[in-house]
Structure 1
């Protein structure tokens, strides 16, 4: 990989970090570890993020890499953020396998049921907040 490509990747990782942190997260870039790599960004709840800013998009390879790196980082979910050509950071794509997405949605569903049963007023307030944030 040329230094120009590495710089492009580093720039995109920083863009994602800044974008997420401006929205209330505490995301940090992490050091690459070769075979034991743990993704590009940590601090996105329950996830590692693998960032890709490339001309040639290879979704199967990206998803495999994100899943492998989530396992390495002991996180339940991997996601690959892929830069949209001539698009803003927020217009990029979040890519995961359908199997991973199902696990994530099941977890969200089960946690919502638990919260609703434990503290209905808090559940209603959070539900309203997130519906209005769209």
Structure 2
């Protein structure tokens, strides 16, 4: 008998992958890659055991996807950072499913350091980054390691598109 939680996680990873590929125009109306060997395609990664490389690769991001009832965002973000390093990607984020909503409403969490690095790469001020991609902060106590910023999957898809296009498009 298959593990029910693993099946839910796999379905969530696949839904995120499919949404991002569709948003970015990387697949046709049947869901087939337009350019199958392109490094731009968003893909689910093979499991690597102790040197896990994340659930979904959306270059230059590693996505750690979670379909659980009780979020543990700071822990997920630490995991995403480690897995991004294992995969050789500069950014790791966590994507949490929102029960009862479509994939586009899923929550994408950035730790402060990753958010700042992406913001600087795009050449945006903090206010412009927060407004453009609808980020909201979560601040828990004085431990900045527990602070993070959140957008939805649709906002992340727009950010991913802008990051891939480079600074010139992002600040137009």
Does TM, normalized by the shorter one, top 0.5? Answer: yes
Uncovered stretches (5+) of structure 1, i.e. residues with no partner: 117-122
Name the structure 1 match of 2:44: 29
Name the structure 1 match of 2:15: 15
Q: Distance in 1 between matches of 2:14 and 2:4?
A: 15
Which of the two has higher C-alpha Rg? 1
Give the structure with the larger helix fraction.
1
TM-score, with length taken from structure 1: 0.78
Q: By how many angstroms is 1:99 displaced?
A: 1.3
Root mean square deviation of aligned Cα: 2.2
Name the structure 2 match of 1:85: 99
TM-score, with length taken from structure 2: 0.62
Q: Distance in 2 between matches of 1:96 and 1:32?
A: 22
Name the structure 2 match of 1:6: 6
Name the structure 2 match of 1:73: 87
Task: Give yes or no for contact 2:42–2:59 (8 Å, CA) kept in 1.
Answer: no
SS at 1:96 equivalent: strand
Name the structure 2 match of 1:119: none
Name the structure 2 match of 1:120: none
Q: By how many angstroms is 1:45 displaced?
A: 2.7
The ranges of structure 1 where at least 4 consecutive aligned residues each deviate by more than 6 angstroms after the TM superposition are none
Q: Distance in 2 between matches of 1:90 and 1:59?
A: 19
